[in-house]
Amino acid sequence: GAGVSQSPSNKVTEKGKDVELRCDPISGHTALYWYRQSLGQGLEFLIYFQGNSAPDKSGLPSDRFSAERTGGSVSTLTIQRTQQEDSAVYLCASSRNRGGDADTQYFGPGTRLTVL
Amino acid sequence: AQSVTQLGSHVSVSEGALVLLRCNYSSSVPPYLFWYVQYPNQGLQLLLKYTSAATLVKGINGFEAEFKKSETSFHLTKPSAHMSDAAEYFCAVSDTGRRALTFGSGTRLQVQP
């Protein structure tokens, strides 16, 4: 079946602009995660959605970062007033809530964000 | 709090040689442990996982890893390296209380002909 998809695959923006990154999880997966991969910081957790529960935002680096998940499916990560240090690959992952595979996260191909 | 340490940011082996990528973890509760592989310009692909069943875990592409609680280790091995194994490998930990993955810094594997 279809995997996790992310769009756009690449995004170049100017410092100070807002950007939106989209993630479509695997159908039926109730958990959705955002991670950031950068040269300096490696792979970092950003935010986690599980069904209708309040999201775990503990990994968001600043209040310029926010995310929402509409209808328990598609998620959008928004970065306001982008800075050069926001340049990174943003990865989305999804997983089931229960069953033998519930602990396995499946990753999308990522969105490469470049802030000029 | 959880943490993962991967010893060796770069490992180079000859084709056909043993691959050994090291991972040590820290977790205050029984962990779930994972190895992911990332090929250039691609996302992360799961190689294998440990979730408190058998301590020797077999994954895809001939890789396996052994969970050793006494050593807090989860090293990844493959008996014979192939050129197609060249990639970056990440060890990660989670648990029932914190589903989000904590990743190691990654090890880039180079396979020489």
Q: Which member of A42, A91, A93 has the closest CB to residue B105?
A: A42
What is the rounded CA–CA span in Å between residue B53 and residue B74?
Answer: 14
Interface of A with B in 13-52 (CB under 8 A): 31, 33, 35, 42-45, 48, 50
Spatial contact of A100 and A106, defined as CB atoms under 8 Å apart: no
| Mean of pLDDT over chain B | 92
Whether residues B100 and A109 touch (CB distance < 8 A) is answered with no
The owner of tokens 């995997």 is A3
SS3 B69: helix
Asked whether residue A10 carries a pLDDT value surpassing 90, the answer given is yes
Q: Which chain A residues touch B27 with a CB distance below 8 Å? A: none
Whether residues B49 and A104 touch (CB distance < 8 A) is answered with yes
Spatial contact of B63 and B76, defined as CB atoms under 8 Å apart: yes
Per the DSSP assignment, residues forming a β-bridge with A79 are: A19, A65
Asked whether residue A96 carries a pLDDT value surpassing 90, the answer given is no
Q: Is B6 exposed, middle or buried (0-12, 13-18, 19+ CB in 10 A)?
A: buried
Whether residues B43 and A109 touch (CB distance < 8 A) is answered with yes
| Mean of pLDDT over chain A | 92
SS3 A84: helix
Check residues A103 and A23 and name the one with the higher pLDDT: A23
Share of chain A above pLDDT 90, in %: 75
Question: Residue B75: which H helix or E strand, with range?
Answer: strand B73-78
Per-residue pLDDT tens for A59-89?
999 999 999 998 878 999 999 999 999 999 9
Per-residue pLDDT tens for A47-59?
999 888 889 999 9
What is the rounded CA–CA span in Å between residue A89 and residue A10?
Answer: 9
Per-residue pLDDT tens for B27-73?
877 889 999 999 988 889 999 999 877 889 999 999 999 999 899 99
CA distance B88 to chain A (A): 12
SS3 A12: strand
pLDDT at A68: 94
Q: Which member of B32, B43, B103 has the closest CB to residue A103?
A: B32
Per-residue pLDDT tens for B60-111?
999 999 999 899 999 999 999 999 999 999 999 987 777 889 999 999 999 9
